[in-house]
């Protein structure tokens, strides 16, 4: 059983080592969003709004990446706020550009997965629930026509289920890594 000081150290290590994964997952999400935005934009007005959303995502990631490069990595609170902002921006994009038909929901997966690699399960479960709720709210805000079709409701439920599974898989990997670090520390200390 780890001591309280060990738990604080483990949490700091999770943030420090997981930050690189989060930064690159965010860049992958931004690149995917850029491709989707440019591919599916028919007019300049729509493109302008999408570029502003993309610029917001990039600004947050530049800030986090910059802090990491100058060896002042973000703390848990900042990463939490950035992840919630990502989820909110993606939900806003879904609500503005397509609702149920929008394929932008897939951008939630890397955000939730990267978050799960850094934070304990209870935080991951909360962010996953917030992401699912915001996604459903965004789809409903755009149009409720899909709610009358049982097949579309099933599709929505599958999307929510896979989002939860992504959070669960990230948590599972988080536990594996935590156990490996504990075993290595125990072996090094001769416990």
Asked if 129 and 121 touch (Cβ cutoff 8 Å), the reply is: no
Asked if 17 and 68 touch (Cβ cutoff 8 Å), the reply is: no
Give which of 30, 77, 74 is closest to 56, Cα–Cα.
Answer: 30
Distance CA 161, CA 181 (A): 30
Other Cβ atoms closer than 10 A to 16: 13
Alpha helix segments (H runs only) across the chain: 4-39, 44-69, 76-96, 108-118, 121-142, 150-189
Give which of 138, 136, 123 is closest to 89, Cα–Cα.
Answer: 138
Place of tokens 């075993």: 183
Place of tokens 């738990």: 7
- Mean pLDDT value across residues 133-148: 93
Specify the pTM.
Answer: 0.84
- 47 CB contacts (<8 Å, ≥6 apart)? 37, 38, 41
Res. 1: pLDDT tops 60: no
Q: What is the CA radius of gyration of the chain?
A: 19
Which tokens in the block code for residue 107?
């951008």
Asked if 19 and 73 touch (Cβ cutoff 8 Å), the reply is: yes
Res. 58: pLDDT tops 80: yes
pLDDT tens digits along 9-47:
777 777 777 788 888 888 888 888 888 777 776 777 777
**Separation of CA 185 from chain center:** 30
pLDDT tens digits along 90-115:
999 899 888 899 888 999 999 999 99
């Amino acid at each position: 059983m780890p001591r309280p000081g060990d738990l604080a150290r483990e949490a700091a290590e999770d943030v420090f080592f997981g930050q690189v994964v989060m930064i690159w997952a965010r860049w992958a999400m931004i690149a995917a969003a850029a491709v989707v935005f440019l591919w599916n934009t028919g007019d300049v007005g729509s493109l302008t709004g999408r570029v502003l959303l993309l610029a917001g995502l990039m600004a947050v990631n530049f800030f986090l990446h910059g802090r990491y490069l100058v060896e002042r990595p973000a703390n848990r609170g900042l990463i939490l706020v950035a992840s919630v902002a990502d989820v909110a921006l993606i939900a806003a994009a879904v609500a503005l550009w397509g609702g149920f038909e929008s394929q932008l929901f897939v951008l939630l997966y890397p955000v939730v997965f990267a978050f799960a690699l850094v934070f304990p399960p209870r935080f991951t479960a909360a962010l996953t629930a917030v992401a699912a709720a915001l996604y459903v709210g965004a789809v409903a805000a755009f149009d409720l026509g899909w709610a009358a079709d049982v097949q579309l409701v099933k599709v929505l439920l599958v999307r929510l289920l896979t989002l939860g599974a992504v959070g669960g898989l990230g948590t599972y990997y988080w536990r594996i890594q935590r156990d490996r670090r504990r075993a290595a520390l125990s072996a090094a200390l001769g416990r």
